Amino acid sequence: MIKRLFDLTLSAVGLIASAPFWALFALAIKIEDGGAVFFPQARVGLGGRVFTALKFRSMVPDAESCGGPVQAGENDPRITRVGRLLRGSAMDELPQLWNILVGDMSFVGPRPLVPGEVEVRGDGRLIPLAEIPGYEARHGIRPGLTGLTQVYAPRDLPRTSKFRLDRLYRERAGVCLDLKLIALSFWITARGSWESRGPKL
């Protein structure tokens, strides 16, 4: 209950405070390629319920039309110039403040995954995330804008290891940990290092 009240308050304040940035980012996206400003995407939430998460579009239009929902790789050609700036600072995820306000997400929790998302292994195999141990357990709490995995796990870490961090968060979740992760997230945003392939901090 306290966590939900915290989410409601912070998301409402965040939406109001960030309003000028929405206009700026929307203009930059439109100027670059004239495509849609927002990228709606299905995500898996609490209890396995699928919801629509909004992001500022950071990839070329129809980026997933051929390969489906595959996580962006290093120097991914699908990412636009504006998109690289947005992703590095995590500003592409600003619209998810709305998802937090309506209860789809929380500020802190496991990363919200795409239904049918796959992991590309080093040998080129595509492994559905639903087949990786720990996938279902993540859905016992609301997914988060940030979390242990988002802050501490290198982007290319195998999902099995990321899911262990999600489980660790469930075991240790509390106000102090949430505040620490939010503070660290602001620091990573200030450094523009969310897309770093190594440590973000």
Residue-wise pLDDT tens digits, 74-105: 678 899 999 999 999 999 999 999 999 999 99
Strand partners, 126: 120
Q: How many other C-beta atoms can be found within 10 angstroms of the C-beta atom of residue 3? A: 17
pLDDT-derived band of residue 124, with 50, 70 and 90 as boundaries? confident
| Assigned token pair, 52 | 């629509």
Measured distance CA(134)–CA(198) in Å, rounded: 23
pLDDT score, position 191: 95
Measured distance CA(121)–CA(127) in Å, rounded: 7
| Assigned token pair, 70 | 């595959």
Measured distance CA(166)–CA(101) in Å, rounded: 22
Q: What is the pTM of this model?
A: 0.89
pLDDT score, position 69: 59
Using only C-alpha atoms, the chain has a radius of gyration, in whole angstroms, of 16
Find the helix or strand (DSSP H, E) in which 10 lies. Answer: helix 2-17
Q: How many other C-beta atoms can be found within 10 angstroms of the C-beta atom of residue 188? A: 19
Measured distance CA(45)–CA(43) in Å, rounded: 6
Number of residues that this document lists for the chain: 201
More confident residue, 17 or 124: 17
Distance of CA 137 to the CA centre of its chain: 18
Residue 113 φ then ψ, to 5° = -95, 160
Helix (H, G, I), strand (E, B) or coil at 134: coil
